[in-house]
């Protein structure tokens, strides 16, 4: 004779809870209708800009690898990767500006990628727009100075350095370093004139050394003054 199994009432009730929830039972909320996301043109522009910045970082990394490579095959491969990434970034910045033409940062990066792709006149135009929207924009001033070097407009590059020196010593130093590198490159290529036959490489090199000395002296005086103020 079997002994009937006694099932506690509490267990039975607990087993019915999922059924109550599943059957509606008045105990669940109806699912909320999904609301489609609507991005504004400004939001879409910002997203395209952010994507472009990521492409620029990839391109800069690849370009650095190309510059450092000693093997011709690796150098060529990295250079192609850099070019493709700069081109992709350039397209994204153009798309961003079609949606919102008031972004100085996008104009600045458009100039940067144009310069990296060898389109110096287009780069200058973009930097000019960035500076129109954001007067004194230091990054655009520095990038434009490097574009002037590519166009052999040395007097303009020197003026860009002086403008930067008045407001951003770090970026001024970056441009001065670019000018040093440019002179070295010109000499390696056997050039004897810096710009349109009017400025010799020797004169430009001398100017660079003078500006570097002034910057070093100014920095020393600034450090001394700061130290004195703590005494």
Average model confidence (pLDDT) for the chain?
85
Residue 13 has pLDDT above 50, yes or no: no
Residue 118 has pLDDT above 80, yes or no: yes
At 30 the pLDDT is 63
At 229 the pLDDT is 53
How confident is the model over 64-80, as a mean pLDDT?
96
Residue 22 has pLDDT above 70, yes or no: no
At 204 the pLDDT is 93
Tell me the backbone φ, ψ of residue 23, rounded to 5 degrees: -85, 5
The residue count for the chain: 231
The DSSP call for residue 95 is H
In this structure, which long-range contacts are made by residues 8-14, counting pairs with CB atoms below 8 Å and at least 24 apart in sequence?
A: none
* Token pair of 21 as six digits: 């929830």
How confident is the model over 208-224, as a mean pLDDT?
83
The predicted-structure confidence for 163-214, as pLDDT tens digits, reads as follows 999 999 999 999 999 999 999 999 888 876 555 456 788 999 999 999 999 9
At 20 the pLDDT is 45
Residue 35 has pLDDT above 70, yes or no: no
The H-or-E segment that residue 200 falls in is strand 199-200
Q: Which of 25, 130, 203, 198 is nearest to 179 (CA)?
A: 203
**Band of the pLDDT at 218, cuts 50, 70, 90?**
confident
At 39 the pLDDT is 86
**Band of the pLDDT at 91, cuts 50, 70, 90?**
very high
Report pTM: 0.77
Pairwise CA distance, residues 132 & 215, whole Å: 28
| Count of CA atoms in the C-beta half-sphere (13 A) of 78 | 16
**Band of the pLDDT at 216, cuts 50, 70, 90?**
very high
| Proportion of the chain above pLDDT 70, given as a percent | 76
Q: What are the residue ranges of helices labelled H in the chain?
A: 9-22, 41-68, 72-99, 104-116, 120-133, 138-150, 154-167, 169-188, 201-229
* Token pair of 42 as six digits: 């400004």
At 199 the pLDDT is 77
């Amino acid at each position: 004779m079997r002994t009937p199994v006694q099932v506690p009432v509490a267990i039975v009730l607990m087993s019915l809870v999922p059924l109550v929830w599943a059957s509606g039972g008045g105990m669940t909320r109806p699912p909320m209708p999904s609301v489609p996301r609507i991005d504004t043109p400004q939001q879409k522009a910002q997203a395209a800009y952010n994507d472009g910045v990521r492409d620029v970082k990839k391109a800069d990394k690849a370009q650095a690898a190309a510059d450092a490579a000693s093997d011709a095959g690796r150098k060529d491969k990295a250079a192609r990767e850099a070019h493709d990434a700069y081109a992709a970034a350039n397209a994204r910045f153009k798309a961003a500006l079609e949606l919102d033409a008031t972004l100085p940062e996008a104009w600045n990066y458009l100039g940067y990628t144009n310069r990296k792709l060898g389109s110096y006149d287009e780069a200058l135009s973009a930097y000019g727009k960035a500076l129109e929207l954001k007067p004194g924009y230091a990054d655009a001033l520095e990038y434009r100075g490097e574009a002037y070097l590519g166009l052999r407009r040395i007097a303009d590059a020197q003026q860009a350095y002086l403008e930067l020196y008045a407001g951003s010593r770090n970026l001024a130093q970056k441009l001065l370093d670019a000018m040093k590198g440019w002179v070295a490159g010109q000499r390696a290529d056997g050039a004897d004139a810096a710009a349109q036959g009017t400025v010799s490489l020797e004169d430009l090199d001398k100017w660079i050394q003078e500006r570097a000395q002034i910057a070093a002296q100014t920095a020393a005086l600034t450090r001394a003054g700061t130290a004195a103020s703590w005494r």
